[in-house]
Amino acid sequence: MVKLHRKVIGSAAMFSAAGLVLAGCAAADEDATSGGEVEVVDQSAFEEALSTPTELTMWAWVPDIQNQVDMFMEEYPAIDVTVENVGQGLDHYTAIRTALSAGSGAPDVVQMELQYIASFDVTNDLLDLAAYGAGDLEDDFVPWVWNQVTAGERVLAIPQDSGPMGNLYRQDIMEAAGVTTPPATWEEYAEAAQAVRDNTDSYISNLPSGQAGQWVGLLWQAGAKPFGFDGDSGVTVNVNSDRAKEVVTYWEELIKNDLVSTDPDFTDEWYQGLNQGLYAGWLTAAWAPVFLSGAAEDTSGLWRAAPLPQWGEGENVSGNWGGSSSAVLSATENPIAAYELARWINMDQEPALAFATEQFLFPTANSVLADPAWLEQEPEFYGNQRVNEVFADISESVDVEFQWLPYMDFAYSSFNETMGVEIDAKGDLSAGLDAWQEALVEYGEQQGFSVNE
Amino acid sequence: MNAQTTSSVKTKNTRPVKVRKTSRVKRRTNLSAYGFVAPFLIIFFLMLFIPLAYSGYISLFIERIVGGINFVGLENYARAIEDPRFHEGLGRTALILLIQVPIMLGLALIFALALDSGYARGSNLLRLLIFMPYAVPSVVSTLMWGYMYGQNFGLVGQLATSIGLPAPDLLSPGVILFSIMNIVTWAFVGYNMIIMYSALKAIPSEVYEAAEIDGASQFRLAWSIKIPALRPALLLTTIFSVIGSFQIFVEPSLLSPLAPSAIGQSFTPNYYAYNLAFVNSELNYAAAIAFSLGVVIMIVSYAVQLSTQRKRVAE
Same domain, B29 and B165: no
Q: CATH 3.40.190.10: which residues of chain A?
A: 41-162+322-375, 163-321+388-452
Q: Residue B69: inside a domain, yes or no? A: no
Same domain, B21 and B124: no
Say whether A420 and B265 touch across the interface (CB within 8 A).
Answer: no
Same domain, B52 and B137: no
Per the structure, how many domains does chain B have? 2
Q: How far, in Å, CA of A49 to CA of A45, rounded?
A: 6
Among the residue ranges A277-281, B28-32, B82-86, B239-243, the one predicted with the least confidence is B28-32
- Which one of B261, B263, B281 makes the best mutation probe of the A interface by having the most chain A beta carbons within 10 Å? B261
The pLDDT, as a whole number, for residue A12 is: 38
Looking at domain A41-162+322-375, its CATH superfamily turns out to be Periplasmic binding protein-like II (3.40.190.10)
Q: Residue B70: inside a domain, yes or no? A: no
Same domain, B155 and B222: yes
Q: How far, in Å, CA of A250 to CA of A240, rounded?
A: 14
Among the residue ranges A218-222, B33-37, B93-97, the one predicted with the least confidence is B33-37
Give A365-404 pLDDT, tens digit per residue. Answer: 999 999 999 999 999 999 999 999 999 999 999 999 899 9
Same domain, B89 and B232: yes
Q: Which of A90, A264, A425 sits opposite B260 (nearest CB)?
A: A264
What CATH number is given to the structural domain containing B287? 1.10.3720.10
Q: Residue B25: inside a domain, yes or no? A: yes
With a cut of 70, say whether residue A14 has pLDDT above it.
no
Same domain, B213 and B148: yes
Say whether B260 and A449 touch across the interface (CB within 8 A).
Answer: no
Same domain, B203 and B261: yes
Q: Residue B244: inside a domain, yes or no? A: yes
Same domain, B168 and B288: yes
Q: Which of A264, A273, A276 sits opposite B258 (nearest CB)?
A: A264
Q: Residue B298: inside a domain, yes or no? A: yes
Query: pLDDT tier at B310 (50, 70, 90 boundaries)?
Result: low
Same domain, B107 and B231: yes
The pLDDT, as a whole number, for residue B122 is: 83
With a cut of 70, say whether residue A38 has pLDDT above it.
no
Is A396 in CB contact (< 8 Å) with chain B?
no
Looking at CA atoms only, how far is residue A268 from chain B in angstroms?
A: 7
Say whether A420 and B64 touch across the interface (CB within 8 A).
Answer: no
Residues of A in contact with B261 (CB under 8 A): 209-210, 416-417, 420-421, 423-424
Q: How far, in Å, CA of B233 to CA of B35, rounded?
A: 33
Is A273 in CB contact (< 8 Å) with chain B?
yes
Phi, psi dihedrals of residue A278, rounded to the nearest 5°: -70, -35
Same domain, B167 and B222: yes
Structural domain for B185, as ranges: 77-314
Same domain, B82 and B47: no
The pLDDT, as a whole number, for residue A306 is: 97
Is B150 in CB contact (< 8 Å) with chain A?
yes
Same domain, B194 and B296: yes
Phi, psi dihedrals of residue A452, rounded to the nearest 5°: -100, 130
Give A287-330 pLDDT, tens digit per residue. Answer: 999 999 999 999 999 999 999 999 999 999 999 999 999 999 99
Residues of B in contact with A414 (CB under 8 A): 265
Residues of A in contact with B275 (CB under 8 A): 413
Is A123 in CB contact (< 8 Å) with chain B?
yes
Complex-level ipTM: 0.81
Q: Residue B68: inside a domain, yes or no? A: no
**Domain A163-321+388-452: assigned CATH number:** 3.40.190.10
CA-based nearest residue to B182, from B195, B170, B197: B170
Q: Residue B10: inside a domain, yes or no? A: yes
Q: Residue B66: inside a domain, yes or no? A: no
With a cut of 80, say whether residue A20 has pLDDT above it.
no
Is B257 in CB contact (< 8 Å) with chain A?
yes
